[in-house]
Structure 1
Amino acid sequence: MDKLQTLYYEFIPTGEAKMKIDPAKTALLVVDMQNQFISRDGLDAQVAREKGMFDKWESFYDRIDNVAIPNNKKLLDFFRANQLEVTFGRIACHHKDGRDRSPVQRRPGWNNILLPIGDPGAEMVDELKPLEDEIVVNKTTDSVLSGTNYEFLLRNMGIETVVCTGVVTDQCVASTVRSLADAGFEVILVEDACAAATKELHDAEIMIMNQIYCQVMSTDETIQFISEEIEQRSVVQK
């Protein structure tokens, strides 16, 4: 995606920076695709309606329904069909009063998230429900790595590359991508499986992260890329 390069990397063709991956050491990470945040019947949508602001969020929910959820489902189906690792990160605190939350999730405004484990709003939307054997980590931070044992789990499973999706692009997804990159993982950010409050915020964050913290790809590009790697390894093994 050459159009998503900032001035920092304008002189480097995207193709030259393309990563090499081992599908067997690659995991999908779906971030915060939870009822509270992305369902039109969720608490966030209800609050927006009560405050007379839902029209400003309409494009966000349109992208969720028509782009992000279908593409996350497509990726889940692909990873599961190829027996690749599937993981989820979600916002969910242990205490009902939320006293175990990080400061970033107590600040006034949209980020003041009180979502205890067991609350229906904490669950992934029905279309993206984790299977029984898939890892789900609970976080009280923006990054899936910070304050959880997610990195430890990835190391135990020998994972080297993480394919990241979810919401919102400019907050929890971006924080997670940066943490993964700093921890030494290769990261693919699936642009059309993510969403932010506005297209402008989404596009800006994608452009900032591309090449330095991750490789930005579409859903179809990601599936094609991993499929080619699977096929090449299958031929070599024969």
Structure 2
Amino acid sequence: MKLSDKTALIPVDMQQAFDRALWPARWNDKVDANGLALLSAWRATGRPIIHVRHDSIQEGSSLWPESPGNAFRPGFEPQFGEPLVTKSVNAAFIGTDLDLRLRRVGIDTIVVFGISTDMCVSTTVRVGSNMGYKVILVEDSCDCFDLADSRGARIAAADIHQAHVATLRAEFATVVTTAEILGGLESVA
């Protein structure tokens, strides 16, 4: 997959809170390795990266700004010159300046990955698409959690991920793997 120089990488909520016991089981044990590979390769091309962090407004939340869980996972911290957008809802575009930042530098395509597929990643992808961006979802650089259905039965995280990726592919995004993105990056410097 060839990417233009008008493409930005948007890592969503790669935060330590999601490793804490209060969160249900996740499925993707390669989410960190894949996400770090994307960041490293992307930085080498000189393309823009805008990091997204969830700063919960609910005091006591593991994503509360003063909570240790609010911190980025090791290696996912923004580097010099990489902007950080903080949000308090699922969509990275709502109540933030993400759209303005992207438009100011002429971005028309966003590549999204992060936690969790069915919540903040999905909502960011949907809103971004509705706002006119071409959206690319890196499915194997995302992760989500087991959830209970309306009867209390467990729905496996991998099944939730698969269903959400299918709905995003149907209308909102091109869905690719980490390897496909890495294979299409060329330096714009």
For Structure 1 versus Structure 2, the TM-score category normalised by the shorter chain is: 0.7 to 0.9
Residue 201 in 1 paired to residue 155 in 2?
no
Within the candidate set 17, 28, 32, 2:9 is matched to 28
Map 1:1-238 onto structure 2 (within 5 A): 21-22=3-4, 24-37=5-18, 39=19, 42=20, 45=21, 47=22, 57=25, 60=26, 63=28, 66-93=29-56, 98=59, 113=61, 115-197=63-145, 198-227=157-186
The structure with the largest strand share of the pair is 2
What CA deviation, in whole Å up to 9, does each residue of 1:50-69 have, x standing for no partner?
Answer: xxxxxx61xx1x62xx3110
Percent identity, aligned pairs only, is 30
Query: Matches of 2:97 and 2:65 in 1, distance apart?
Result: 17
The alpha-carbon deviation at position 211 of structure 1 amounts to 4.4
2:185 is paired with a residue of what secondary structure?
A: helix
RMSD across aligned positions (CA):
2.3
Query: Matches of 1:195 and 1:181 in 2, distance apart?
Result: 20
Q: Given that residues 125 and 172 in structure 2 are in contact (C-alpha distance below 8 angstroms), is that contact kept between their aligned partners in structure 1?
A: yes
Higher relative contact order (CA 8 A, sep 6+): 2
Structure 1 runs not aligned, ≥5 long: 1-17, 49-55, 99-111
Amino acid at match of 1:34: Q
Structure 1 runs of 4+ aligned residues shifted over 2 Å read 112-120
Query: Matches of 1:21 and 1:125 in 2, distance apart?
Result: 27
The alpha-carbon deviation at position 120 of structure 1 amounts to 2.5
Please say which of residues 207-216 and 184-193 is displaced more in the overlay: 207-216
Query: Matches of 2:112 and 2:132 in 1, distance apart?
Result: 15
Scaled by the length of structure 1, the TM-score of the pair is 0.69
Query: Matches of 1:116 and 1:133 in 2, distance apart?
Result: 25
1:165 is paired with a residue of what secondary structure?
A: strand
The alpha-carbon deviation at position 117 of structure 1 amounts to 2.8
Query: Matches of 1:173 and 1:160 in 2, distance apart?
Result: 18
Amino acid at match of 1:134: E
The structure with the largest helix share of the pair is 1
The alpha-carbon deviation at position 157 of structure 1 amounts to 1.3
The alpha-carbon deviation at position 147 of structure 1 amounts to 1.1
Query: Matches of 1:131 and 1:21 in 2, distance apart?
Result: 22
